[in-house]
């Protein structure tokens, strides 16, 4: 926690856009859930009253209970995912460690990444790993132990190992970023399987290339394949090991602009995933090794540049921070759009459809009420009429009886006198 609160980027991070949007959409779906439950409760109360609600309408509203629960589950788990690719030894694991500000992933000689490693925040502040297809949480106390545990497992190169790390140790993890490391793309015959298994839900891809060489065909092919499966993937290109290039090459500016042009050409003209202007914010020249080293020094309270560093360290450090900022803006916006837009629309539709049903029920209830009042009046009038009729009839009868009685009386008296 001290690490996070000491970080000046804490709440100004662009990742907060995602975090806030996630909180908001979760709250809204909580309200939709209440609304749907209320509607179902009402419907259950009027069960059997077919004049009021049709069976199909009741079924429609009841079905939404499960659907809303499902969406809420997905929303709770939603995160931003970034996947790192590149040829072996280009520094993928080192870049992730630099971003996490700690030596979490094994890197370097003897620590070739041989399966997919996904680093994510753990809920309970513990660190452990889980392998694919198993629920067992294996405790991990240190990087050495993690490396050992990974060697122990017989893992296929497409398999996924999830590494859970305390959220409060890193801003990215706290803000729901999940980072995926991969084996070198030059060592796999299974690119299609990789893409299907690990890439389709990634919000951002980071291609880590070696600044000492040039963009390789295997690296290009991989992203050509990715962009046939995903429309306009967000791709960053990191020219890593820039420290090594700087100290060796005489015409360093020319090398830089040549690498930049090729990388931009790849993104803009070949993959058509961004504009030339955007490409300028997607290509960086960095040294992951230096950044990690500097950050470890800073955490010990020492100045960032206190290790043995090559010339131009400060500029490369700034460029790495610039990359992180652009990356955070990109992943946050992209994830909000892809993960929440559809759900917002879905939530709106559910609310509208439930309202439509309830409105129809209300209209029918009103109509029924009106009909009853009218009926009451009709019956009343009828009763009145009958009463009058009855009175009339009674009157008539009375008269008739009187006549009869009089007639009889007359006849009797006549008979008597005769
Ligand atoms: P695999 O997992 O084997 O595919 O490699 P990787 O791409 O994960 O590379 P990793 O991070 O393991 O780095 C390979 C070696 O390059 C390590 O010895 C790192 O210390 C070194 N390295 C990484 N980044 C830099 C850098 O910016 N400059 C220099 N000079 N060395 C670096
Ligand atoms: Mg690696």
Burial class (CB in 10 A: 0-12, 13-18, 19+), 402: exposed
Predicted local confidence at residue 145, as pLDDT: 75
CB 183 within 8 A of CB 145: no
Cα separation, 224 vs 269, whole angstroms: 12
Report CA dihedral (65, 69, 70, 75) to the nearest 10 degrees. Answer: 140
- What is the model's pLDDT at position 266? 97
Give the whole-angstrom CA distance, residue 315 versus residue 285.
10
CA distance 158 to 169: 28
Nearest to 100 by CA among 161, 46, 180, 197: 180
Q: Give me the percent of the chain exceeding a pLDDT of 90.
A: 48
| CA–centroid distance, residue 56 to ligand 2 (Å) | 56
- Model pTM score: 0.83
Q: Model confidence over 273-292: pLDDT tens digits? A: 999 999 999 999 999 999 99
Q: Which residue's alpha carbon is at the smallest distance from atom 3 of ligand 1?
A: 112
Look at residues 176, 240, 158, 173 and name the one whose alpha carbon lies nearest to residue 206: 240
Residue 216, classified by CB atoms within 10 Å of its CB into exposed (0-12), middle (13-18) or buried (19+), is middle
Find the length of the chain.
418
Residue pLDDT, tens place only, 209-256: 999 888 999 999 999 999 999 989 999 999 999 998 877 767 888 999
281/147: higher pLDDT: 281
Which atom of ligand 1 is closest in space to residue 112's alpha carbon?
3
Contact 83, 206 (CB under 8 A): yes
CA neighbor of 282 nearest in space, from 321, 337, 225, 326? 326
CA of 8 to the centre of ligand 2 (A): 30
For the CA of 88, the closest atom of ligand 1 is: 4
Atom of ligand 1 nearest to the CA of 244: 30
Say what the pLDDT of residue 5 is: 45
Which of 90, 93, 94 has the most ligand 1 atoms within 8 A of CB, as the residue to mutate? Answer: 94
* Residues 171-180 pLDDT 10s: 999 999 999 9
> CA–CA distance from 364 to each of 50, 115, 371 (Å)?
11, 62, 10
Closest to 351 (Cα-Cα) out of 78, 61, 59, 123: 61
Q: Is 293 in the pocket of ligand 1 (CB under 6 A)?
A: no
Contact 154, 172 (CB under 8 A): no
Decide: 118 and 178 in contact? Cβ < 8 Å.
Answer: yes
Percent of the chain past pLDDT 70, that is, above it, reads 89
Q: Tell me the range of 1-10, 119-128, 391-400 where mean pLDDT is highest.
A: 119-128
Angle at the Cα of 192 from the Cα atoms of 186 and 225, rounded to 5 degrees? 80
Summarize pLDDT for 25-80 with one digit per residue, the tens: 999 899 999 988 988 988 888 877 777 888 888 899 899 999 999 999 999 989 99
Alpha helices in 215-307 (DSSP H): 217-229, 242-248, 252-265, 276-279, 288-299
More confident site: 43 or 2: 43
C-alpha 339/C-alpha 343 separation (Å) is 7
Q: Are strands 204-210 and 177-181 parallel, antiparallel or unpaired?
A: unpaired
Confidence of residue 388 (pLDDT cuts 50, 70, 90): confident
Mean per-residue pLDDT over the chain, rounded: 86
Ligand 1 nearest-atom number relative to CA 187: 4
The more confidently predicted of residues 385 and 69 is 69
State the residue for tokens 């009046």.
377
3-state secondary structure of 330: helix
How far from 150 is each of 28, 119, 137, 146, 209, CA to CA, in Å? 41, 14, 13, 6, 25
Spatial separation of the C-alpha atoms in residues 96 and 92, rounded to whole Å = 6
Verify whether ligand 1 is closer than 6 Å to residue 87 (CB atom).
no
């Amino acid at each position: 926690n001290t690490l996070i609160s000491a970080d000046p980027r804490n709440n100004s991070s662009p990742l907060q856009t995602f975090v806030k949007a996630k909180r908001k959409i979760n709250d809204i779906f909580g309200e939709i859930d209440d609304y749907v439950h209320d509607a179902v409760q009402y419907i259950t109360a009027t069960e059997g009253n077919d004049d009021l609600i049709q069976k199909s309408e009741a079924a429609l509203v009841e079905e939404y209970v499960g659907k809303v629960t499902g969406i809420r589950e997905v929303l709770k788990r939603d995160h931003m995912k970034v996947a790192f690719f590149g040829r072996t030894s280009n520094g993928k694991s080192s870049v992730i460690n630099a971003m996490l500000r700690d030596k979490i992933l094994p890197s370097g000689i003897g620590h070739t990444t041989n399966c997919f490693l996904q680093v994510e925040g753990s809920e309970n502040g513990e660190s452990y790993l889980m392998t694919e297809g198993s629920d067992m949480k294996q405790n991990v106390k240190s990087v050495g132990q993690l490396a050992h545990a990974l060697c122990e497992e017989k893992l296929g190169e497409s398999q996924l190992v999830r590494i859970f790390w305390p959220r409060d140790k890193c801003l990215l993890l706290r803000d729901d970023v999940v980072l995926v490391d991969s084996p070198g793309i030059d060592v796999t015959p299974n690119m299609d399987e990789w893409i299907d298994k690990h890439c389709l839900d990634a919000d951002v891809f980071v291609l880590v290339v070696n600044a000492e060489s040039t963009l390789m065909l295997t690296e290009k092919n991989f992203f050509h394949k990715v962009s046939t499966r995903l429309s306009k993937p967000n791709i960053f290109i990191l020219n890593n090991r820039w420290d090594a290039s700087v100290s060796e090459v005489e015409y360093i500016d020319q090398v830089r602009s040549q690498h930049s042009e090729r990388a931009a050409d790849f993104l803009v003209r070949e993959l058509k995933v961004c504009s030339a202007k955007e490409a300028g914010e997607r290509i960086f020249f960095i040294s992951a090794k230096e950044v990690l080293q500097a950050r470890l020094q800073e955490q010990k309270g020492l100045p960032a540049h206190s290790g043995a560093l090559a010339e131009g360290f400060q500029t490369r450090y700034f460029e790495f921070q610039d990359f992180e900022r652009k990356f955070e803006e990109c992943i946050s916006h992209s994830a909000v759009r892809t993960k929440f837009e559809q759900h917002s629309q879905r939530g709106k539709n559910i609310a509208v459809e439930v309202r439509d049903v309830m409105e129809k029920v209300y209209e029918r209830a009103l109509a029924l009420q009106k009909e009853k009042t009218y009926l009451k009046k009709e019956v009343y009038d009828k009763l009145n009429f009958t009463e009058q009729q009855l009175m009339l009839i009674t009157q008539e009868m009375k008269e008739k009886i009187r006549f009869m009685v009089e007639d009889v009386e007359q006849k009797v008296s006549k008979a008597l006198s005769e």
